Amino acid sequence: MEQLLQQIESLKAEIAASVASSQEELEQFRIKYLGTKGLVKQIMGEMKNVPVESKKEFGQILNAFKQVAEDKLAQLQEALGETESVDTKQDYTLPGDTIAVGTRHPLNLVRNQMVSIFKRLGFAVAEGPEIEDDWHNFGAMNLPADHPARDMQDTFYVQEATDASAAWLLRTHTSSVQARVMETQKPPIRVICPGRVYRNETISARAHCFFHQVEGLYIDENVSFADLKQTLYFFVQEMFGKEVKVRFRPSYFPFTEPSAEMDISCQICAGKGCNICKHTGWVEILGSGMVHPKVLENFGIDPEKYTGFAFGMGVERIAQLKYQVNDLRLYSQNDLRFLQQFKSV
């Protein structure tokens, strides 16, 4: 025991006198004293030979010894760091390099906001494929092969077929996702379907061959048109503020009956009249209606028991009203001068 204490004392003196003028020497110091086979560990190994009544005292001495080695290591490290930085002439007062931080795409910002509003009402997000078969895009939605309303949506066909119902196409609306949800889930159903859709239109400031939609579907017992109106009214108030006015106009969609389009007071001119609202003070933002009984039947949902509403709107249109962007093409040209103006919310 006495011998051990003497050894510790002489090691302490040795440690105190140690120097390190390079990283290698510093590492040697660490290995010699604090490494897994270092002197600190070795001496700690002697603990087992110490009589029980002295264990506590000896333990404290050992801990202090270890601390001395660790403190010295830190001290050497610091000293070395300082001299090295002087050696390599690093100047810590120089300004840092700026890191380029990206911005979210304006359509994603708007889509995220739309999704979060509907989520608060209990809607879940559903997604589906962009290449669809005829059934999910048209047939199931009450648009059989010869239905004239197919012309409303100029379709890109991936694979045409003599029997139209065997064709493959780029989805023209995310109603196809609603079809897939009804196929696999039982009411109550409450989903929104955000996604990209395609239509064969000549590209101009006002039209594009692809755009983005958020469609919604709610099916349960006793769902009424009043629920539809209130849900959409809540949505636009959250999106555009409490002052926004809405109006519903009767419309036609094969998959809803009755159907209505919803207009909101023009957010650009506050109803005074401008190019966006074609001087009417109103802008159409969505199509909606009560799910057609035929559509429910197509998925084995009993229309006597369940009713539902559906709606669909374009993300570009909402973004246009929010950011006053008049040319749709800007959203897909990837011009950084345009994109960098949108900061995340």
User: CB 256 → ligand PHE: shortest distance, Å?
Assistant: 5
Q: Whole-number minimum distance, CB 277 to ligand PHE, in Å?
A: 20
CB 195 within 8 A of CB 212: yes
Whole-number CA gyration radius for the chain: 36
Omega cis (within 30) before 106: no
Q: How many residues bind ligand PHE (CB under 6 A)?
A: 11
Q: Decide: is 316 part of the binding site for ligand PHE (CB under 6 A).
A: no
When the beta carbons of 74 and 124 are compared against ligand PHE, the nearer one is: 124
CB 215 within 8 A of CB 312: yes
Going from the C-alpha of 66 to that of each of 4, 26, 159, the distances in angstroms are 14, 17, 76
Q: Which of 106, 254, 287, 308 binds ligand PHE (CB under 6 A)?
A: 287
Residue from 289, 299, 301, 317 in contact with ligand PHE (CB under 6 A) = 289
Q: For ligand PHE, which is the closer residue by CB, 142 or 175?
A: 175
Least separation in angstroms between CB 253 and ligand PHE: 4
Give kind and range of the element (H or E) at residue 310.
strand 307-314
For residues 256-275, which are near ligand PHE according to CB under 6 A? Answer: 256
What are the CA-CA distances from residue 304 to residues 182, 220, 222, 296 (Å)?
16, 11, 10, 10
**Candidate ranges 62-70, 84-92, 284-292, 328-336; the one touching ligand PHE (CB under 6 A):** 284-292
Rounded Cα–Cα distance for residues 296 and 292 (Å): 7
Q: Which helix (H) or strand (E) element contains residue 50?
A: none
Q: Contact region for ligand PHE (CB under 6 A) — 89-97, 128-136, 309-317, 336-344?
A: 309-317
Q: Is 194 in the site for ligand PHE (CB under 6 A)?
A: no
Could you say which of 33, 123, 311, 331 contacts ligand PHE (CB under 6 A)?
311
Choose, by CB under 6 A, the member of 134, 215, 263, 316 that binds ligand PHE.
215
Q: Is the sign of the CA dihedral 27, 30, 33, 35 positive or negative? A: negative
Token pair for 193: 């379907």
Amino acid at 59: G
Question: Which residue of 111, 173, 292, 317 would you call a contact of ligand PHE, by CB under 6 A?
Answer: 173
User: With binding defined as CB under 6 A, does residue 231 bind ligand PHE?
Assistant: no
Identity of residue 256? T
What are the contacts of 338-341 at 24+ separation with CB within 8 A?
339/103, 339/105, 339/106, 340/103
175 binds ligand PHE (CB under 6 A): yes
Compute the least distance from the CB of residue 314 to ligand PHE, in Å. 8
Residue nearer to ligand PHE on the CB measure, 133 or 215: 215
* Mode of pairing for the β-strands spanning 282-291 and 256-265: antiparallel
Q: Which stretch binds ligand PHE (CB under 6 A): 32-40, 50-58, 188-196, 286-294?
A: 286-294
Binding part of the chain for ligand PHE, among 16-24, 27-35, 220-228, 287-295 by CB under 6 A, reads 287-295
Phi, psi (5° rounding) for residue 311? Answer: -150, 160
Residue 95 in tokens: 């300004």
Determine if 312 is a binding residue for ligand PHE (CB under 6 A).
yes
- Which stretch, 29-37, 129-137, 158-166, 282-290, contacts ligand PHE (CB under 6 A)? 282-290
Main-chain dihedrals φ then ψ at residue 212, nearest 5 degrees: -120, 140
Residues that bind ligand PHE (CB under 6 A): 173, 175, 215, 253, 256, 287-289, 310-312
